[in-house]
Amino acid sequence: MVSSQSRIGIIGAGTSGVYLAILLIQQGFQVDLFEKAPHPRTDGCGILIVQAGMQALHQGNPEITEKIINSGDRVKLFEFRNLRGGVINSEPVTYEEHELPGMLVHRKAILEALLDKLPPECIHFNAELASIAQTEHSAIVHFKDGRKWEGDLLIGADGIVSKVRQYIVPGVELFYLGDIVWRGIVEDHSFCPEGNFFVYVRGRGIYANFFHIGGGRTHWGFFIEKERTDSETGKLQPNNIAFLTKVRYNNSSE
Ligand SMILES: Cc1cc2nc3c(=O)[nH]c(=O)nc-3n(C[C@H](O)[C@H](O)[C@H](O)COP(=O)(O)OP(=O)(O)OC[C@H]3O[C@@H](n4cnc5c(N)ncnc54)[C@H](O)[C@@H]3O)c2cc1C
């Protein structure tokens, strides 16, 4: 049973970990957030935050969405083009008064807007998870630099190669789908106007996208998606589903 006095540890200060920490602190929990990097990892490129994502952030704290709105571009147009620039489909986006927009923004601006709302004493850098143990009443974490944390609940927000997951669901292997992506940001004031999201489609899983992210910058991305054989379809499923089902069943029957 998790009470509001509970001490909660979160591994990973990416966007998920930081936002979750904010929400839990607002509910009165004692939260410690551990990040292996020596500082917030604000690198990355452009991100499209769809309206539902903005609404979810707004519910947590309207100041977060306000900062994001001031840092990027409101989505104004989605346009699909062929390689000669001919328009295949064009979808202007309009908003009602007071409606939250979808946003085109640098990942750094999202993380910084979130970090602004996190009490700095909650976040611990250079804290790379080494091991996890569990007693009847607590979770215990050891970090690579020798630090130790003990609390009531531990949450893994440590990304796609999660070490926490290895303890909860051992044996899950990542499966490379064969897709290749190049991304970057350029200064641009003319090719991609403010709020525009262009997709150039060649067909058969080859396409490029460009979107303006505010401040005279355009995000670009080139994508090659590998065709999948029937035997590859569905491989993203963890290979020990039976184990997960058993855990859920055991918990619900308690
Ligand atoms: C540096 C970076 C740049 C990215 N750039 C883009 C982008 O431009 N566009 C895009 O669409 N997506 C990008 N992503 C991916 C995107 O942020 C995530 O896929 C998505 O937001 C999910 O976020 P997350 O918080 O769950 O995981 P992540 O954003 O991956 O964050 C996980 C955090 O956990 C930390 N961590 C991992 N292992 C440990 C450990 N053992 N101990 C302690 N801490 C640990 C990592 O350093 C990281 O800060 C990027 C991710 C990162 C880390």
Q: Specify the ligand 1 atom closest to the Cα of 12.
A: 34
pLDDT tens-place values along the chain, 254 residues long: 567 679 999 999 999 999 999 999 999 999 999 999 999 999 999 999 999 999 999 999 999 999 999 999 999 999 999 999 999 999 999 999 999 999 999 999 999 999 999 999 999 999 999 999 999 999 999 999 999 999 999 999 999 999 999 999 998 888 888 899 999 999 998 999 999 999 999 988 899 999 999 999 999 999 998 887 766 665 555 544 444 443 433 333 32
Site to probe by mutation for ligand 1, drawn from 23, 114, 158 as the one with most ligand atoms within 8 Å of Cβ, is 158
Partnered with residue 19 across adjacent β-strands are none
Tokens of 191: 């090719």
Site to probe by mutation for ligand 1, drawn from 23, 35, 161 as the one with most ligand atoms within 8 Å of Cβ, is 35
